């Protein structure tokens, strides 16, 4: 009972993904929990399409016998189950982030782009409709397509209607269409989520569980040098034929000065003992064919529990016609909101980050330290501090 209560408390310290119709692309802990259950065959769901609809996860969790789960699987189950229940109601929340530099490259669930950022959130839920209003005030921010300054935006806002296995939304939510921890698979230019219309759905079929997403949208800001916005489009179909593997195919298009179409296929294979391997292949086709590019990702991750922490180690290799790099990471989170997330990569900017999480003043605090090389090959460092709170 004590273990269950600790995991219920952890839900209060998770990201804003928890109270939406979807498991969103801004919570590395919930993504890890879903991967743990997928690796074990507890759930059979495409787990690399974000946002991912909650209903197809929750229905499977209701059928699980927790007595059959290992310690690692039970930690993942409790985290996901409580998060799915929490998603039925709206919430009010706030988050304040301060950092001294905005130049650090971003990965999954690393989205800060300003030296000071205040985020205020109010979400509403009903049986068939959901809405979230997020107001963002940023000081000394890096814009969606370049430029800096003080900005106001509604990034994270959505209005959604749900019917059965399907949902349609007007939104500015981040997408992540890739098994990688460093590359989102979208291949769009904008650094912030597009303002878009998105259709999403998922369910069962004779060949496995499926997830479909499609979107059409436009960047929030104009690219200063050309005074124009990016138009983006995409379609992704993912399938999990069994508990041992899943795959997806997708197409995205970016229209700006130079338009490009990207075609990709990805796969994730679950191996024994919470070990999994994944891969991603992408072909980029430009209007100017001399710019065409091929990209590949190969990676593996391993999950385990130790000293009350659910932990994950990953390693991956990204290569393309233009750049190659390796990335490794370690994360560990406990049921009471404590955690650490370490990531390193050896691309041209040779970056590294360490983030620590701890419950504080009724919310959750994060302290982050980052180091990287700038384009002039100089060493740069940044420190970040954030605090988040929410209530229902």
Give residue for tokens 């107001």: 135
Q: Which two tokens stand for residue 236?
A: 């992704």
Quote the tokens at residue 176.
């992540």
Residue-level length of the chain: 392
User: Strand pairing of 275-286 and 293-306?
Assistant: antiparallel
Specify if 62 maps to a domain.
Answer: yes
pTM for the whole structure: 0.87
Phi-psi region of 307 (alpha: psi -120 to 50; beta: other; left: phi over 0): left
Return d(Cα 203, Cα 46) in angstroms, integer: 10
| Tokens 């059979």, located at residue | 44
For residue 207, the Cα-to-chain-centroid distance in whole angstroms is: 27
The domain total for the chain is 1
Q: How many C-beta neighbours within 10 Å does residue 307 have?
A: 7
Antiparallel, parallel or unpaired: β 195-205 and 176-177: unpaired
Residues 6+ apart with CB under 8 A from 111: 26, 174
- CA-nearest of 35, 39, 37 to 50 is 35
Report the C-alpha gap between 262 and 291 in whole angstroms: 12
Q: What is the pLDDT of residues 119-150, one digit of tens each?
A: 999 988 888 899 999 999 988 876 544 556 78
**pLDDT score, position 101:** 78
First to last CA, the chain: 23
Output the CA–CA distances (angstroms, integers) from residue 255 to 167, 196, 217, 235, 258, in the order listed. Answer: 26, 14, 11, 15, 7
Query: What tokens appear for 85 in the block?
Result: 């229940």
Let me know if residue 11 belongs to a domain.
no
Classify residue 4: in a domain, yes or no. no
Q: Is residue 8 part of a domain?
A: no
Residue 3 lies in a domain: no
Show pLDDT as tens, one digit a residue, over the chain (392 residues): 444 333 333 333 333 333 467 888 888 888 899 989 988 888 888 888 898 888 778 888 888 888 999 888 998 998 888 887 777 777 899 999 999 877 666 677 777 778 899 999 998 888 889 999 999 998 887 654 455 678 888 999 999 998 888 999 999 999 999 999 988 888 787 778 899 999 999 888 888 889 999 999 998 877 666 678 889 999 999 999 988 899 999 999 999 877 899 999 999 999 888 999 999 999 999 888 878 999 999 999 999 988 889 999 999 999 999 889 999 999 999 888 899 999 999 877 788 999 999 999 989 999 999 888 877 778 888 899 999 998 87
Q: How far apart are CA 14 and CA 57, in angstroms?
A: 17
The CB density around residue 164, as the number of other CB atoms within 10 Å, is: 9
Helix (H) or strand (E) holding 106: none
pLDDT in tens, 265-289: 999 999 888 999 999 999 999 888 8
Cα dist from 253 to 212, 213, 243, 248, whole Å: 17, 14, 31, 17
Output the domain CATH number for residue 382.
2.40.160.130
Asked, for residue 322, whether it belongs to a domain, the answer is yes
In a domain, 248, yes or no: yes
**Which neighbouring-strand residues pair with 357?**
339, 366
Asked, for residue 309, whether it belongs to a domain, the answer is yes
Range of the domain at 227: 22-391
The answer to whether 239 and 207 are in contact (CB under 8 A) is yes
């Amino acid at each position: 009972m004590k273990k269950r209560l600790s995991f219920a408390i952890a839900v209060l310290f998770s990201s804003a993904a928890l109270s939406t119709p979807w498991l969103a692309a801004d919570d590395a802990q919930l993504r890890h929990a879903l991967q743990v259950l997928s690796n074990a065959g507890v759930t059979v769901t495409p787990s690399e399409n974000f946002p991912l609809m909650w209903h197809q996860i929750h229905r499977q969790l209701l059928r699980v016998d927790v007595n059959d789960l290992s310690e690692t699987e039970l930690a993942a189950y409790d985290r996901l189950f409580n998060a799915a229940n929490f998603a039925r109601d709206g919430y009010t929340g706030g988050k304040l982030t301060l950092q001294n530099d905005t130049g650090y490259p971003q990965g999954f669930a690393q989205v800060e782009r300003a030296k000071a950022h205040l985020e205020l959130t109010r979400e509403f839920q009903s049986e068939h409709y959901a809405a979230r209003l997020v107001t963002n005030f940023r000081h000394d921010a890096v814009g969606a397509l370049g430029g800096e300054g003080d900005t106001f935006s509604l990034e994270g806002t959505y209005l959604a209607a749900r019917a059965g296995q399907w949902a349609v939304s007007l939104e500015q939510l981040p997408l992540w269409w890739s098994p990688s921890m460093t590359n989102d698979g979208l291949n769009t230019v904008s650094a912030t989520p597009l303002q878009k219309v998105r259709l999403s759905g998922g369910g069962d079929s004779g060949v496995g569980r499926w997830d479909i997403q499609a979107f059409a949208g436009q960047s929030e800001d104009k690219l200063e040098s050309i005074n124009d916005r990016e138009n983006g489009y995409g379609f992704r179909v993912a399938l999990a034929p069994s508990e041992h593997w899943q795959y997806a195919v997708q197409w995205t298009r970016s229209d700006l000065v130079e338009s490009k179409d990207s075609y990709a296929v990805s796969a994730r294979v679950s191996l024994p003992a919470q070990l999994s391997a994944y891969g991603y292949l992408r072909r980029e086709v430009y209007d100017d064919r001399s710019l065409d590019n091929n990209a590949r990702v190969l990676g593996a991750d391993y999950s385990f529990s130790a000293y009350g922490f659910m932990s994950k180690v990953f390693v991956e290799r990204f290569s393309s016609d233009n750049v190659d790099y390796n990335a490794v990471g370690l994360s560990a989170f406990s049921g009471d909101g404590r955690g650490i997330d370490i990531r390193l990569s050896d691309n041209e900017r040779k970056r590294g980050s360490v983030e620590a999480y701890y419950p504080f003043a009724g919310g959750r605090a994060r302290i982050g330290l980052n180091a990287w090389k700038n384009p002039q090959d100089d060493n740069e460092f940044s420190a970040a501090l954030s605090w988040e709170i929410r209530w229902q």
